[in-house]
Amino acid sequence: MRRTKAAIMMYTAWNIWKERNRRIFEHTRADAVQILQEIMAEISVRKLACGGPEFSVVSRC
């Protein structure tokens, strides 16, 4: 779970950085929804390439 949160934070930071660069160098703007869609797309591609995290269900008594 901790690695998943870290990965989401990294993808979020990376996409915010890319949007910053687009605004400065390409003079274009994307809204928050578009950036979120890019983050989700990158996470999906990573899942397809590497597989998703394995969550095991263990009953605790």
pLDDT tens per residue across span 2-60: 988 998 999 999 999 999 999 999 999 999 999 999 999 999 998 888 887 654 444 44
- Give the residue numbers spanning the domain of 38: 2-50
CB-CB neighbours of 58 under 10 Å: 5
Tell me whether residue 60 is in a domain.
no
Query: How far does CA 12 lie from the centroid of its chain?
Result: 5
pLDDT at 15: 96
pLDDT at 33: 96
For the chain, how many structural domains are there in total?
Answer: 1
Tell me whether residue 59 is in a domain.
no
Query: How far does CA 5 lie from the centroid of its chain?
Result: 10
